[in-house]
Chain A
Amino acid sequence: MKRHLLSAADLSRDDALLVLDTAEELARVSDRAVKKLPTLRGRTVVNLFFEDSTRTRISFEAAAKRLSADVINFSAKGSSLSKGESLKDTALTLEAMGADAVVVRHSASGAPHRLATSGWIGGSVVNAGDGTHEHPTQALLDAFTMRRHLGPLTDRRVIIVGDVLHSRVARSNVLLLHTLGAEVTLVAPPTLLPVGVETWPCAAAYDLDSVLPKADAVMMLRVQRERMGAAYFPSVREYSRRYGLHAGRLGVLPEHALILHPGPMNRGLEITAEAADGARSVIVEQVANGVSVRMAVLYLLLGGSEPG
């Protein structure tokens, strides 16, 4: 494994499988009465969140604590983007505190990359979501969740639906699922697919109904309501009709197919309650699995002793 996890592309197939297998082992800890391992005792993990994301922060915090690491939560809302303390000064502060790993969430694409390559800090950098770039641990937990239900993901068909253009989750998932041998199809209105998507290691389609019947898993992306003003689609109603996962489409989806969503959901917009809460939905599992996968990432990056 590389020293940092900035992009899902940093993971080779062997790396990715190692993370997933390690996460399986560590998941067993979560089933015990005492949910704690001594592996990272004395190590310091900083959660550096320039952007609000309670669920991701809590997930990383739980992961680090279950490995006995010291956790510092650094909520730096108001980065240099809004003329607060600069990324550099924040980084130097963390370095002075002796951070072994910095988990960073930032609204600017590439901010974790800057932290990792600028020489400001010496520890490992874990990208916990940067702008519209990547969110590699989300992709890992999605793969982990799918693998638990579907077995190895080789040749499995995964459909990712929605605002791919602005989605870091989609970017990381395409890269990781491709590495793991799955076939990914992105489905979105043409306005929400990035320029150059034809060069990505996946397929792209505009018509959800034509691809659903062959899916092994379908991942619904959150649609930001503010996209509407920017003419990406005419109305919420039209979006829901053409790209939402609703009762009619559930009938077309194979019985064994999984429904995923990275959250937070816009119920009634990209996904109906029926789909989100139904038997095929693994959305709540995704959250639980997030802790195991992040434990594995921290464990492998910080080179802790064998999990017991």
Chain B
Amino acid sequence: MSEHPATWLLSGVRPLGGAACDLLLRAGSIAEVGPAGSLGAAGAEVLDGDGLVALPGLVDLHTHLREPGREDAETVETGTAAAAVGGYVAVHAMANTDPVADTAGVVEQVWRLGREAGHVDVRPVGAVTAGLEGERLAELGAMADSAAGVRVFSDDGRCVSDAVLMRRALEYVKAFDGVIAQHAQEPRLTEDAQMNEGELSGRLGLRGWPAVAEEAVIARDALLAGHVGSRLHVCHVSTAGSVDILRWAKSKGWRVTAEVTPHHLLLSDELVSTYDPVYKVNPPLRTRDDVDALRVALADGTVDAVATDHAPHPVEDKECEWAAAAFGMVGLETALSVVQDAMVDSGLLDWAGVADRMSVRPARIGRVAGHGRALAVGEPAHVTLVDPAARRAVDPATLASRSRNTPYAGMSLPGRVVATFLRGRPTQLDGKLTS
């Protein structure tokens, strides 16, 4: 797959932002760790890591790779390339493809395409209900037992709104330690919804997506998860009220986890007043108060993970009227920079915290073996190197993703992912793919 040697010396890097040291990657594992300048480089390619922060390779719980079905927007190849460029070593491929990933056959196909591409480990997400129709359970066990080894199940894009079906799904996946990742959106309260419901939606004449439509479902599902003792994961939490409910659910000891997207940590709804659909996303951009609450929640661990909700769309699905445009933003290649901007540079989270929220906990929630581990001798060599002192202007034209719908075009963001190692081999160096 890669022509680079199997042994790498990462010299002078700062694991989790701590003291500089040398990491020797050999045969897919971290073979040696020593003080900076202490490790010999015999037979190894040396990467001068002076000033770079080393993180365990990032794991995304929420990626839309679009294949099969929408290869005009993204493929497993291009989407995982974007992931590698962004510092990811594993991604969870969402199930809302065409055909839907609701059978062992489809999840195995996506998994196999991921292996062939080789940029990251692809963990397919299985649909909760057949065809995402919300009427009967998909064959969850068959997907769990397949070569893809599915552990995360989600109808993402749609909410499992039927309370009985949600209860059954939560119960059923206990048999194989699965988790239901809920897209929390009460459908009746959000019919034809276009943006956050508030003063601005009223003024812009765009139909509102009220916070209560998210919060009510999270509350119900947390209660259900507590009642049946199952694992619930809440996708893309977007409101301050959701944070309060999650905090309460966790205080009960229930097995509830949650993710927040980079864009909900940085952007707010006033951008919608441009009517530029690049800012159209579901759940919608919320208020500045929500953004602040989400940052605090990520910092204190109420929200467990950052997940990109990378949602590629072709140009024509965004170059149109707001109401006609598709929901979603690409995010894999900017996630770490956005998190640095919103969380690290603001003093809310250190790099150890970033590693925890972007690698350790996502891997644990997704039950991704071998990922999200410490940067220690004997662990798999999944390493992301970031230069926190760099700044860059986001240029959509240079994205590895097939799509260009980034809301950060032209923005200056801190940090640059310098290298990503998967099982000891670089998948990208200086933003360039190695394979």
Contacts and interface: CB of A to CB of B under 8 A. Distances in A.
A and B: partners? yes
A134 B205 contact: yes
A106 B210 CA distance: 25
B321 A195 contact: no
B253 to A, nearest CB: 36
A107 B316 CA distance: 19
B320 interface: yes
A196 B204 contact: no
A106 B203 contact: no
A273 interface: no
Contact of A109 (B199, B316, B323): B323
Interface in A106-124: 106-111, 113-114, 117-118
Main secondary structure of the interface of B (DSSP, over half): loop
Interface residues of A, number: 29
Contacts of A106: 321
Category for how many chain B residues contact A = 20 to 34
B324 A80 contact: yes
B274 A109 contact: no
B200 A171 contact: no
Contacts of B322: 108-111, 114
Nearest to A113: B275
B206 interface: yes
Interface string A273-298: 00000000000000000000000000
Contacts of B200: 196
Interface in B315-352: 316, 319-324
B324 A109 contact: no
B321 A81 contact: yes
B197 interface: yes
A196 B323 contact: no
Interface in B181-213: 194, 197-208, 210
Nearest to B199: A196
A95 B198 CA distance: 36
A114 B204 CA distance: 13
Nearest to A120: B319
Contacts of A171: 203, 205
A197 interface: yes
A213 interface: no
Nearest to B275: A110
7 contacts: A81-B323, A86-B316, A88-B319, A109-B322, A114-B321, A195-B208, A196-B201
Interface of B: 194, 197-208, 210, 274-276, 316, 319-324
